[in-house]
A and B are shown apart, each in its own frame.
Chain A
Amino acid sequence: MTQPLHLASRSSRGRKRPWLEPLLLLSPAIVLLMLGFFLPVAQMVFSSVTSFQGESGFSLANYAEVFKSDYYLSAMGRSLKLSLIQTVITLALALPLSYLMTRVSGRISGILMAIIILPLMTSVVVRTFGWVVLLAPNSWLGQMAKSIDPVRYGQGLLGTEAGIVISMVQVLLPFAVLTLFGVMQNIDPKLEEAARTMGAGFLSTLRTVVFPLSLPGLISGATLVFALSVSSFITPRLVGGSRLPVLAGTIYNDATVNLDWPFAAAQSTLLFLAVVMLIFATSRIGSRK
C-alpha cells in the first residue's frame, strides 16, 4: 500500500545508490556488536572445546571436568534450585501487584511504579549492601531469624540460602512487574465487566478471564527472571559468602582468580546454552497461544 509512493518519490529524485544511506546508518552498530559481542562470545565457545589445562586441540575435557567435580555440580544444583525458588516467589508477588497497579487510580499506580523503578535503577551493589546490613546477626531481621532457629541462623541470615533468596527477589521483582504490567494494561476491563454481568464472582473472573490473558506476560516474565537469577553472582556472593557457591560465582572465580579461561568458558557456555534453550522453549509456548 505504501510501496508505490515510496518508490515513486525515490525514482523521481533520481538518487543513485539508494542503499548507501541505510548502510552508513546501520554499519556502526553492526560493527560494534560484532567486535564487542558476537566474536567474543563465539571465541569463548570455541576456546572451551579447543584448550584444556594449557594444551590445545579439540577436547571436551573442560566439560567433563565440570560434571566430574562435586564442587561444580553442587554449585550448578544450587543455582538451579535457588533460581527456581526465586522465580516462583517473584512471580507470585508480581502477579497480584501488577494487576493491582492496572486497576487503581493513576496517582497510586504512579507511586507504586516509582517504588518499583527506583530499586531497578539503583546499582545491584548498593542494594546488596543494604541487604548485607539488614541480614547481619545484629540487625532486626538477623535477630528475628536467630530467635526462630538459633542453630541454623546463628550468624543471622548472612551465609544462608534464605538470605540469598530474600535479597535476590527484591532485585528481580521490578523485571517481573514491568513485564506483567505491560501485558495486563492491555486487558480490556470490559471483558471483566462482561464476566461479572454474566454472574461470575470476583475470584472466578480473575481465574477465567484475567489469568489466562496475562499468561504471555507471566511466561516471558518468568523466563527473564530465571535467566537473570541463574546468571547473577554479586548478590549470592556478598550475601551467601564463599561457602555457598553458585554457577555464576564459580565462573567469576575461575576467570579472574584462577585465570583458567577455557574452563570458565566451558561453564559460561553451559549457562549460555541453558538460557538460550529456555528462551527458545518459552517463546515457542508463547507463540502457540
Chain B
Amino acid sequence: MVKSVPGWVRALATVLAVVVGIYMLLPIIVVAISSINSERFLSFPPKGLSLEWYQLVLTTDTYLQPFLTSLWIGLLITAIAVVVGTAASIALTRFQIPGSQAILSFLMAPIIVPSIILGIALLAFLSVYADGASITGIIIGHIVLAIPYVVRTVSGVLLQQDRFTEEAARTMGARWWQRYLLVLLPMCKSGIFAGAFFAFNISFDDAVVALFLRSPSVETLPLAIYGRLEFSPDPSVAAVSTLMVLVTVLVLVGFERTLGLGKVMA
C-alpha cells in the first residue's frame, strides 16, 4: 500500500476525535457531577460533595412514583410493540403480499414525521373522540413511535435468513405453532432484542409526546425532570438524571456483550 496518511492529518484527526468525544459526554458528566453537590443550588463546578440528594431521590415519592410510571409504561410499550412489530415483519418478509412496499412505508412513517406533530395530532384527536389527554394517549403515542423500530430490526434479520427453512418445516408436517415457535421466532431473536431495546428506550426517554398528552394525574420521569428544570432545578434533579443515565449505560453494556452495538445500530 502507498504511504498512507500524512502526519498532520493524523494529529488533526486525533484532536477532532478527542474534542468531539468530550463535547458529546460533557453534559452527561456535568449532570453526574452536579448530583453530588452539597449546596442547595446548582453550580458548576460544585463547592462541596455529598450523596444526600441520592438518599432524597430514593426515599421520597417525588421521583420514585414517576420512575415507576415510566418503567411500567416502557415495559408495556416494549411488549406490545415487539409482538405487533414482529408479526408485521413476518407477514412482510415471509408472504407475498400485494403492495408490501407501500405497507412497509406506511409502517415506517412515524420515524420520519416529527414527534411534536404526533403529539399535537393525538391530543386534538383524543379530545374529540375520547376524554382528552390521558395516560392512554401517551401509551398510544409511544406504541406508534416504537413499532417502526421493531419492524426495521426484525425484518432486517428475517431478510438475511433463508426463507425456505420455514417452508421445509411446513412440508415436513410442522403444525403452525411449531413453525412459529421452533423456526420463525428463533430466527427473529436478535432483531427482537434490538427492537425491544429501542422500544423501551423511546418510551422511557420521551418527553415530547408526553408533554402534549400529560394529565395532572400522571407524571413520567422525563416530565418530572422537565418540570423541575423549568422552575427550580436543584441537585436532586441531577441525581435522578444520573440514575436514568446509569440505567441506559447498563442496558448498552449488556447489548455490547451479547449482540455487539455496531451491528444493532447499523
Contact = CB atoms under 8 A, between A and B. Distances in A.
Contact of A255 (B118, B120, B205): B120
Contacts of A173: 20, 24
B6 interface: yes
Contact of A29 (B88, B126, B128): B88
Interface string B80-113: 0001110110111001110000010011011011
Contacts of B238: 129, 133
A93 B17 CA distance: 10
A28 B266 contact: no
Contacts of A39: 125
Interface string A229-244: 0111110001000000
A227 interface: yes
B123 A33 contact: no
A188 B231 CA distance: 52
B122 interface: yes
A131 B27 CA distance: 6
A129 B262 contact: no
Give chain B's interface residue range (CB within 8 Å of chain A): 35 or more
B11 interface: no
A36 B163 CA distance: 32
Interface of A: 2, 5-6, 9, 12-13, 21-26, 28-30, 32-33, 35-41, 43-44, 47, 93, 96-97, 100, 108-110, 112-119, 121-134, 136, 138-140, 167, 170, 173-174, 178, 181-182, 185, 193, 196-197, 202, 227-228, 230-234, 238, 248, 251-252, 255-256, 261, 264-265, 268, 271-272, 275, 279
Given A36-B122, A125-B225, 11 more contacts: A2-B164, A32-B147, A41-B113, A41-B118, A119-B27, A129-B31, A133-B42, A136-B42, A136-B43, A136-B44, A232-B116
8 contacts: A25-B95, A26-B88, A29-B84, A29-B85, A44-B124, A123-B225, A182-B266, A261-B123
